[in-house]
Amino acid sequence: MIFASTRLTQVNCMEAAPMNLRDRTINIFASAILILISIGDVTWAGSEEDHTVTVSGGIAQPSGATSVFENPAGLAFNSRFRLTAQAMLDSPPTLRGGVLMGNGNVGGTAGITRRTDSSNHSDAFLGMGIQVPALRFTLGVAAFADVNSVSSPSFNIGALIDSGQALTLGVVARSVDNGVGEWGAGLRYKYSGQTYFVLDSTVDSDFGSLALQPGLMLSASPAALTFSYGFGSSQRSSRLHSQQLHEGFSAGASLKLGSTTQCQLYYHHLAELYTAVSFGL
């Protein structure tokens, strides 16, 4: 009886752990919403100029150029036709090339990711975002497929929901083709025309791993800087486990050159070093 009671207690504790992480996530976001809404009132910013750089994991503040890999709803803010060249500067590097297009309310991208190692492996990516200003709602979907084999593509779905004040909520579901592999949620608060505060978070499908990454963006046209710090825990360890967030310090910068060219550089976002250059013809 003593053994059975002890075993039952252990099982109950293990079953309760996901609920504890779920409750912590809900409490964090509920508190953040109440605090941010009470601070001030700013009109909604849903344009290409407001999405020139990614903050934290790109859930609540994705960049229009890289949002297909973050929150695909950000693709809706692309307002012109551009070419984009991107690279994961690991060893060896991974190269990406494609097109960006849109009219400011509907936008999309298509391109190829190619590894430069001995495998020469290639993946295709495709994404689309639609913004409905009257509803303050933006929805996006991204698809990824292996071009070297016949296999089912992987899909990510994302949304951006504006409060009508200074607050925007971002939501992402990753790998929805095989059940949801990871959920993401983020809050972006526009403190002023040049300062944004962001809190992104992710949990795995069984709520056994929680990750958080608060961040800050400072913008002064034509440039912007971002800083963030990621941390988290899981049932198995005290380290961050996330497909989209990064443990420790991350930073990013963007610079607009002329009217159509934009450069971005990130440290510990999408790769150890990641760069993206987008330009019009």
DSSP state of 4: H
Cα–Cα distance for residue pair 15/19, rounded to 1 Å = 8
Cis preceding linkage at 92, omega within 30:
yes
**pLDDT tens digit at each of 281 positions of the chain:** 444 444 434 434 434 444 455 455 445 545 544 444 444 333 344 678 889 999 999 999 999 999 999 999 999 999 999 999 999 998 889 999 999 999 989 999 999 999 998 888 899 999 999 999 889 999 999 999 999 887 789 999 999 999 877 899 999 999 999 889 999 999 999 998 789 999 999 999 888 889 999 999 999 989 999 999 999 987 666 677 888 999 999 999 999 998 889 999 999 999 999 999 999 87
Picking from 179, 183, 186, the residue whose alpha carbon sits closest to that of residue 62 is 186
Select the CATH number that applies to the domain covering 2-279 from these four: 1.10.150, 2.40.160, 3.20.20, 1.10.1040: 2.40.160
Task: Output the CA torsion sign for 149, 150, 151, 152.
Answer: positive
Domain segments of the chain: what residues?
Answer: 2-279
Q: Both tokens of residue 158? A: 């994302």
**pTM for the full model?**
0.82
Cα–Cα distance for residue pair 170/168, rounded to 1 Å = 7
Instruction: Residue 156: count other Cβ atoms within 10 Å of its Cβ.
Output: 27
Contacts 24+ apart (CB under 8 A), 222-225: 222/255, 222/256, 222/257, 223/253, 223/254, 223/255, 223/256, 224/52, 224/53, 224/253, 224/254, 225/53, 225/251, 225/252, 225/253
Amino acid in position 67: S
Cα–Cα distance for residue pair 123/194, rounded to 1 Å = 36
Cα–Cα distance for residue pair 101/10, rounded to 1 Å = 54
